[in-house]
Structure formats: structure tokens, C-alpha cells
């Protein structure tokens, strides 16, 4: 088995060879054809998340090096354990990666994406590799009818966008929603929002090229926060602000814009992990009656539900660039520097 692995945090990934795993019990061995690259991979590669004010959350102790990143996994079943019943050798699958410990209240109540004790590419070896060992067969999901390569992106980019939108608080009829940030997840969210929400979908980003792409993909209106008049224009266009703003950047400036764009009683939901700190005077919460919360990917049930929508042809594909697996390290650098529109998928 060949993997593009972290040997030293922050240093370029290195190719590492190891013995091919042999599945036992309920385990399934996947020969990887595609693996998407996510911005969270950048943070895990760095070994920390930016907490603002010079503080960093060290995440290096969660895994031993060499470690293989990658959680948007797609491939073919090449071997199964003796207890596997419903997954067959030769089948093409996408892999739900947000796997919990299996023995906590979250795992027992369809919230194992809050546990992630065995998450692939986070705690267990992931998809920047030729093969991946999946702990249980029910995490191997049917990808038939979804374009190869694109299918992998739904295991993080897709389910993260879908779940954030699905679990928004109720809004008034035809009230607009704002999508903040048009990276791979934000562009995916735009497509899901146009399908799921019967309301105008507004977008905001610092990159005019991304705003133009979003308008071409169906956004109702676009705003660049670098424009000092952008917030006032949005508030005027929406008669006081949006009912919900979903921040797919997760930076100090993006959350400040998203929260300011809310009408009284609106909801800001943070999805992105760019980092930093956020401050707001406490009286603003009751005075404006707003809520600010977070969304961390989605459950296995949400993922299965989302895939059926995708298979029905209701979601337009986001831009996907295919790169060879050997370019994993360069792709992380490109993501870090904001050079990627849509999603990059690594191939074997």
C-alpha cells in the first residue's frame, strides 16, 4: 500500500509504503480511485487550528506519524471480512468517513459525526493512499449514478453543506438566505440551497471571480465585503437583513459580515474552520434576538438522504479538478494559498 503521508507536521507529504491491510470481521478494504482534498486537511497537515489572539489548538496528539490524511474517499471493494454480508468485492462505493467510537451517547443517537473517534483521515488512516480499511460495512455507500470523482466530494463538501442547510431554523416564506464563502463547500451549498430552499440565495466572497461563478450558477445576488457599501446594500436589498447566514469560511471577518447581515431574530451558522476569534457585545444578542451556532458535517442518515437527492439529478456539479495522488502535498499548498476554485480530487 502506498500513501502520501504526514511524516513531519507542516512539512511536505512523503510517499510511504506499508503492508496491505487484511480485513477481518465487519471490515472492508477499498482500493481508492478518488479522494477529494478538503481545507480541513490543511489544518491537520499544519497540526493546529488558529484560535485567534496568537493561540493555536494543537491537534498533533490525535494521531501518530506517518499519518495519511483524506476523508472524501471513493473506490472499489477489493476484500471483505468474514462477517460482511451486504458489500461485495468489485462494487464501487463512497465511504462515510465521520465514524464514531460506537460506544457513547452521540454514537447511539445518530450523532457519531460529533464523536469522530474513528474518523477516516482524522483518527484512522484516510484516502491519500492506494487503499483504505473501513471499520464497518455500513459506511460503504452506493455511488451508482454519480460521476466518478465527483462522488467522493459529497462525503465532506456535500454532506457538510447539506446538513448545515437542512438544520437551519424555520424562516419566513421567500426570505433570503446568505451563503458566506464560495470555496468548494460554499459552492456545493449554493447548489443544495437552490434545490432545498424555496427562497432567494445570496452569496458573499472576497473574490470577484467566485462571485461571478456563483451568479452564473444561480445565485440571486452577490456581495463583496471588501466594498464598504456591501453590507448596507445587502440590508437595503433584503429590507433589513437575511433570516439566515451560513459562514463557510469561519474567519473573524466572515462571521462579522454574516452576523451583521442578519435581520432581527436571524441565525448565523458557522461551518468553516479558517480560524480566529469573534467578539460581540452581549446585549446585542437579546436586543437583536439573533443566534450564532455551528454545524459539524452531517450524520450517516443525512448522508444517505443527500445521496438520493444527488442521484436523482437535482444537484448541479461543482467544478472539480482531477490531479494525480502524487500531487497531494502541492494541492494542500494551493488550498492554503486560496488558489483553488471548486474542489480538487486526487486520483490513482
Q: Cα 237 to chain center, whole Å?
A: 30
Walk me through the domains of the chain, giving residue ranges and CATH numbers: 2-156+298-347 (3.90.180.10), 168-294 (3.40.50.720)
Angstrom distances, CA of residue 92 to CA of 192, 218, 237:
24, 32, 46
> Which of 85, 87, 114 is closest to 101 using CA atoms?
114
Q: Cα 150 to chain center, whole Å?
A: 14
**Residue 330, SS3 per DSSP:** helix
Tell me how long the chain is: 348
pLDDT for 99-127, tens place per residue?
Answer: 999 999 999 999 999 998 999 999 999 99
- The three three-digit cell numbers of residue 167, written as one number: 438544520
Residue 314, preceding peptide bond in cis (omega within 30° of 0): no
> Which of 141, 195, 171 is closest to 317 using CA atoms?
195
Strand 72-80 to strand 221-223: parallel, antiparallel, or no bridges (unpaired)?
unpaired
Q: State residue 319's pLDDT score.
A: 85
Residues 68, 4 contacting (CB under 8 angstroms): yes
* Rounded CA separation 308/330 (Å): 33
Residues 120, 99 contacting (CB under 8 angstroms): yes
DSSP state of 138: G
Residue ranges in the chain modelled with pLDDT below 50: none
Q: State residue 339's pLDDT score.
A: 86
Rounded (10°) CA dihedral 336, 246, 311, 96? 60
Residues 272, 247 contacting (CB under 8 angstroms): yes
Amino acid at each position: 500500500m502506498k500513501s502520501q503521508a504526514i511524516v513531519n507536521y507542516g512539512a511536505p507529504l512523503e510517499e510511504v509504503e506499508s503492508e496491505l491491510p487484511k480485513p477481518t470481521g465487519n471490515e472492508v478494504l477499498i482500493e481508492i480511485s478518488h479522494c477529494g482534498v478538503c481545507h480541513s486537511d490543511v489544518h491537520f497537515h499544519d497540526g493546529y487550528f488558529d484560535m485567534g489572539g496568537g493561540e493555536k489548538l494543537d491537534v498533533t496528539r490525535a494521531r501518530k506519524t506517518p499519518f495519511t490524511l483524506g476523508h472524501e474517499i471513493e473506490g472499489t471493494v477489493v476484500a471483505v471480512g468474514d462477517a460482511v454480508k451486504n458489500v461485495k468485492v468489485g462494487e464501487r462505493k463512497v465511504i462515510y468517513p465521520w465514524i464514531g467510537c460506537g460506544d457513547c451517547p452521540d454514537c447511539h443517537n445518530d450523532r457519531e459525526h460529533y464523536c469522530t473517534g474513528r474518523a477516516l483521515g482524522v483518527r484512522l488512516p484516510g484516502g491519500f493512499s492506494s487503499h483504505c480499511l473501513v471499520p464497518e460495512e455500513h459506511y460503504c455507500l452506493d455511488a451508482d449514478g454519480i460521476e466518478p470523482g465527483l462522488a467522493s466530494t459529497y462525503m465532506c463538501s456535500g454532506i457538510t453543506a447539506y446538513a448545515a442547510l437542512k438544520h437551519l431554523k424555520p424562516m419566513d416564506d421567500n426570505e433570503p438566505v446568505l451563503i458566506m464563502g464560495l470555496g468548494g463547500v460554499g459552492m456545493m451549498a449554493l447548489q443544495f440551497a437552490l434545490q432545498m430552499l424555496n427562497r432567494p440565495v445570496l452569496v458573499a466572497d472576497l473574490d470577484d471571480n467566485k462571485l461571478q461563478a456563483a451568479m452564473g450558477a444561480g445565485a440571486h445576488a452577490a456581495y463583496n465585503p471588501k466594498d464598504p457599501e456591501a453590507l448596507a446594500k445587502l440590508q437595503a436589498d433584503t429590507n433589513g437583513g437575511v433570516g439566515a447566514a451560513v459562514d463557510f469560511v469561519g474567519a473573524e471577518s466572515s462571521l462579522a459580515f454574516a452576523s451583521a447581515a442578519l435581520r432581527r431574530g436571524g441565525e448565523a451558522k458557522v461551518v468553516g474552520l479558517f480560524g480566529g476569534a469573534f467578539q460581540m457585545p452581549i446585549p446585542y444578542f437579546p436586543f437583536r434576538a439573533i443566534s450564532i451556532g455551528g454545524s459539524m458535517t452531517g450524520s450517516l442518515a443525512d448522508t444517505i438522504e443527500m445521496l438520493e437527492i444527488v442521484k436523482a439529478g437535482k444537484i448541479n456539479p461543482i467544478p472539480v479538478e482531477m490531479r494525480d495522488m502524487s500531487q497531494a502535498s502541492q494541492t494542500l499548498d494551493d488550498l492554503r494559498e486560496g488558489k483553488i476554485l471548486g474542489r480538487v480530487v486526487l486520483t490513482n
